[in-house]
Amino acid sequence: MSSNPVNHVADRFARLKALQRPASVAQTKMTAGTIESQCEAPSRTAGETGAERLATLLGATVSRTPHGEHLSLLSIHCEQAPCIADSDALHLLMPNAPEEVADSSQWLFLDTETTGLSGGTGTYPFLIGLSWWEGSRLKIEQLFMREFSEERSMLAAVAERLRERPVLVTFNGKSFDWPLLETRFRMVRDIATPPLRAHLDFLHPARNLWRPRLGSVKLSHLERHVLGWDRGEDMSSGDIPRIYLEFVRGGDAEPLVPVFMHNQMDLRGLAGLAGRILSIFGDQEKPLEDGLELYGLSRICERRGQAERARTTYEQSIGASLPVETDRAARAALAQLAKRDRDFDRACELWESLLGNSREGYEAYEQLAIYYEHEARNAHLALAITRSALAQLRCARQSAMINASQYRASKLEFEHRRLRLERKTQAMPPSLFSS
């Protein structure tokens, strides 16, 4: 990522951080060691409403739209370089993407904080974080409704930003944030749902790349283990709805400050992660080192029809160290790709390495039998392979290494093949046909 970051956060942002000591530690780490001067939080003035207090604390301003007003907070971050999406990366991310997608200045990152997690028309996004690249700087605008009646104005602002940058970029936005916003646009009715040129949801590639290795693909988790960032003491997102609802019912403004921070960190993390994923997808010169990441990348390449690149990365992944199951899955996938290329030498080599009591193992017996029967035209060898598959099955059954239904299903299939091959071999004596 960025090697020599400079911090240009506005001075009101410093005030904000000062309020949240744990978050300011996180901030320091995320901005790679820049030290900020800390000043005292402004003290509460008499007669101030909760909303005014919040604006003071954050240094936020009131934004006006034809649909009313809402609170708005701008900040600028420079610790990372803008994402670059080359054509290889784009193809893996979204085949047949419209051309705007290649231009990351058309991207609008979005992350919402809501009054509930269950969805439905009674769930409101009270804080909508938007973010985009301006030159080399990441600009974040956070829209906030101080009252439910301000939702309209906030949505009008979102629609405006999306008109300027029609490529939406989210993390899990396809199933959460965007359907929720669509619902809100439908509910307010007089603001049309802004049309998107494309929606890039980085949850799905992140899942493919890192779930095998990390288990969890929560954004903060990925930041820590993929980007090497440390958020410090972030708040738990489960508390967010309650904090807002208490504020609306007349509660304190202070607890909302870390919510704004959390939302900012999510947006910055998303931008960072997007850059990392694009560089993995794009950069074919500098291969990955982690076998599981390579395996994940191979599967994406294979799914997107990039068979050649998939073969390369699968080969690389089995060259790195992989857990046994993943290694088998990678070999089996690679064998299929080799078969498709009619590279039977490599395919057979892989199949032979797979033989044994596993799903891929039995599939390898079957593939070899098919190969010997139809490609190598050696029914006798095919029969021998089939017989050893049956022997393997019996052995696995006797030592209870295979469950009954799997055993029955596989046995039936191989028995069928054996009978057919036996008939065939009896009709064609080996001396005439084997080379």
Closer of 194 and 269 to another protein (Cβ): 194
The stretch among 78-86, 144-152, 280-288, 310-318 that binds another protein (CB under 8 A) is 144-152
Smallest gap, in angstroms, from Cβ of residue 14 to another protein? 33
Smallest Cα–Cα separation from 184: which of 244, 112, 252?
112
Residue 41 or 245 with smaller CB distance to another protein = 245
Stretch that binds another protein, among 179-187, 269-277, 364-372, 381-389 (CB under 8 A): 179-187
Gap between the Cα atoms of 400 and 259, Å rounded: 54
Q: How far is the CB of 244 from another protein (least distance, A)?
A: 9
φ/ψ of 125, rounded to 5, equals -85, 110
Give the footprint of another protein on residues 147-176 (CB under 8 A).
147-149
Kindly state the number of chain residues that form the binding site for another protein, as judged by CB under 8 A: 22
Rounded distance, CA 292 to CA 211, Å?
9
Write down the least CB distance from residue 313 to another protein, Å: 30
Per CB under 8 A, the list member of 64, 163, 186, 374 interacting with another protein is 186
| Closest CB 249 distance from another protein, rounded Å | 6
Query: Environment class of residue 123 by beta-carbon count within 10 Å: exposed (0-12), middle (13-18) or buried (19+)?
Result: middle
Q: Binding segment for another protein among 146-154, 291-299, 316-324, 425-433 (CB under 8 A)? A: 146-154
Identify which of residues 66 and 215 has a Cβ nearer to another protein in the complex: 66
Instruction: Check binding of 49 to another protein (CB under 8 A).
Output: no
Pick 35 or 400: Cβ nearer another protein = 400
Query: d(Cα 130, Cα 306) in Å, to the nearest integer?
Result: 33
> Which span sits near another protein by CB under 8 A: 202-210, 242-250, 279-287, 406-414?
242-250
Cα–Cα distance measured from residue 399 to residue 411, given in angstroms and rounded to the nearest whole number: 16
* One of 80, 153, 172, 183 touching another protein (CB under 8 A): 183
The region that residue 338 occupies, defined by phi over 0 for left and psi between -120 and 50 for alpha, beta otherwise, is alpha
Give the strand order in the sheet containing 167-170. 61-65, 68-77, 137-144, 125-134, 107-114, 167-170, 198-201
**One character per residue 87-126, x = contact with another protein (rule: CB under 8 A):** ----------------------------xxxxxxxx-x--
* DSSP string of 150-186, one letter each residue: GHHHHHHHHHHHHHH--EEEESSIIIIIHHHHHHHHH
Out of 245, 376, 390, 428, the residue judged to bind another protein by CB under 8 A: 245
According to the binding rule CB under 8 A, does residue 249 interact with another protein?
yes
What is the bridge-based pairing of β-strands 107-114 and 61-65?
unpaired
Give the shortest CB-237-to-another protein separation in angstroms: 12
> Which of 179/430 has CB closer to another protein?
179
State the nearest-atom distance from the C-beta of 179 to another protein, in Å: 8
Among 125, 205, 212, 241, binds another protein (CB under 8 A): 241
Those residues whose C-beta lies under 8 Å from the C-beta of residue 200, and which sit 6 or more positions away, are 93, 94, 101, 107, 167, 168, 169, 170, 274
Looking only at the bridges linking them, the beta strands covering 125-134 and 137-144 are antiparallel
Of the residues 211, 242, 340, 377, which one makes contact with another protein according to CB under 8 A: 242
Give, as ranges, the residues between 336 and 355 that touch another protein (CB under 8 A): none
Q: Using CA atoms in the order 76, 77, 81, 84, what is the torsion angle rounded to 10 degrees?
A: -50
Contact 255, 242 (CB under 8 A): no
Runs of H (alpha helix) within 189-323: 203-214, 219-222, 240-248, 257-282, 291-303, 307-319
Under the binding rule (CB under 8 A), the answer on residue 45 touching another protein is no
Q: Which is nearer to another protein, 195 or 228 (CB)?
A: 195
Per the listing, tokens 């993943």 go with 326
Can you give the binding site for another protein, defined by CB under 8 A?
115-122, 124, 147-149, 179, 182-183, 186-187, 241-242, 245, 248-249
